[in-house]
Amino acid sequence: MNLKIFLPYKIFADVEDVSSVVVETSAGSYGFLPQRLDCVAALVPGILTYKIQNEKEMYVAVDEGVMVKAGADVLVSVRNAFGGTDLGKLGELVKSEFKNQNEAEFEVKSVVAKLEVGFIYSFDKFRNQ
């Protein structure tokens, strides 16, 4: 199989001769072998594991995204990814880094909501004058 991991701004990985891929979804972990039927899966933050033929397993911490298996191609599109071989460090990275990003996004959404409320209030006040 050919594994490609896409980020919004670049290609994170383009690996050939992959013998298996394991991803985390909201329904649990799923493994993909070359003969598996084509499918699509929504990914949650977690560890993506892949094995190149005759080599050891590789680990990639991925944020939420989508995975498509079409023929011999496994295409993964995620918001963020970090590679490494130390599973413990990657697990901690997923917990801390992605959690911090979600908290920052929540704060931004909160500020935008306050701006929208202020705009609507001002617009309504202007309209009633």
Structurally, the chain folds into a number of domains equal to 1
**Distance (Å) of CA 23 to CA 7, 16, 51, 87, 109:** 16, 17, 12, 14, 29
Can you give the CATH number for the domain in which 32 is found?
A: 2.60.15.10
* Residue 60 contacts residue 94 (beta carbons within 8 Å): no
What is the rounded CA–CA span in Å between residue 84 and residue 47? 10
**What is the tens place of the pLDDT at every residue in 113-123?**
888 887 787 87
Confidence of residue 67 (pLDDT cuts 50, 70, 90): very high
pLDDT in tens, 14-32: 999 999 999 998 888 999 8
Confidence bin at 12 (pLDDT 50/70/90): very high
123 against 68, higher pLDDT: 68
Q: What is the pTM of this model?
A: 0.71
Query: Mean per-residue pLDDT for 69-78?
Result: 93
What integer pLDDT is reported at residue 83 of this predicted model?
80
pLDDT of residue 85: 61
Tokens of 47: 């560890």
Confidence of residue 98 (pLDDT cuts 50, 70, 90): low
* Structural domain harbouring 100: 2-127
Residue 112 has φ and ψ, to the nearest 5°, of -65, -40
Looking at every residue in the chain, the average pLDDT score rounds to 85
